[in-house]
Amino acid sequence: MRPVELAQDTTPTMPVVMHALRWLEAEQGYVPESVVVLQPTSPLRTGDDITAASALAHAVSADSVVSVSLTPSHPHLAKRITGDGRLEDFDDHPQVDRRQDMEPVYSLNGAIYLARRAHLMENQTFYGPKTYAYVMPAERSLDVDTEWELHLCDLVLRELYGGG
C-alpha cells in the first residue's frame, strides 16, 4: 500500500508514518488522535508495555512517549581511537572515578514510539519538549538488528516459552 519510494530498506520511519496518516484521512476519512509505531525489531515488548506507555501519555498530556532502557555502557566511558592508534575520550565530560557514581543514562530501545497526531503533523518527529520516557527493563529492550541479536532473542524466547 506504500509507494515504492517509501518501501525501501533505507526508508526512514517518519515519511512512512506521515504517508500513512495522510492516506488514512484521504482514503478512509479516519483521523486518529494518536499514532503508535511498534517496530518488529523489538519482539520482547509486551502488551502491558504498550498499555503503560499509552497511560503515561494520557496522564501527563504528552505530545509523545518513547521507550527507553538503562544504557549498559555510560557515554563517559566512550573512547575513540586516533589515526595513530592512541585512545582518547570521545567527548569532554567531568571526570568520575567509579562507574557506579555516574548519573543513570537511558538509550532509545526502539520498542515504542507514541505521539499525538497533531504533534506529528506539525513537527514530523516523535521528539519535542513534551516527550516523555517510558522506561523498560533490559530483558524486554532487545532491539534485533544483527544476527547476534536475533540469536540472543531466540535464546530469551526459548527460556520464556520453551521449545527447541
Domain positions in the chain are: 32-161
- Characterise 8 by phi-psi region: left (phi > 0), alpha (psi -120 to 50), beta (else): beta
Predicted model pTM: 0.87
**Which run of H or E residues covers position 21?**
helix 13-23
CATH class of 32-161: alpha beta
pLDDT, the chain, mean:
92
Q: What pLDDT shows up at residue 91?
A: 80
Higher pLDDT, 102 or 24: 24
Helix (H, G, I), strand (E, B) or coil at 140: helix
Chain centroid, CA 23 distance in Å: 24
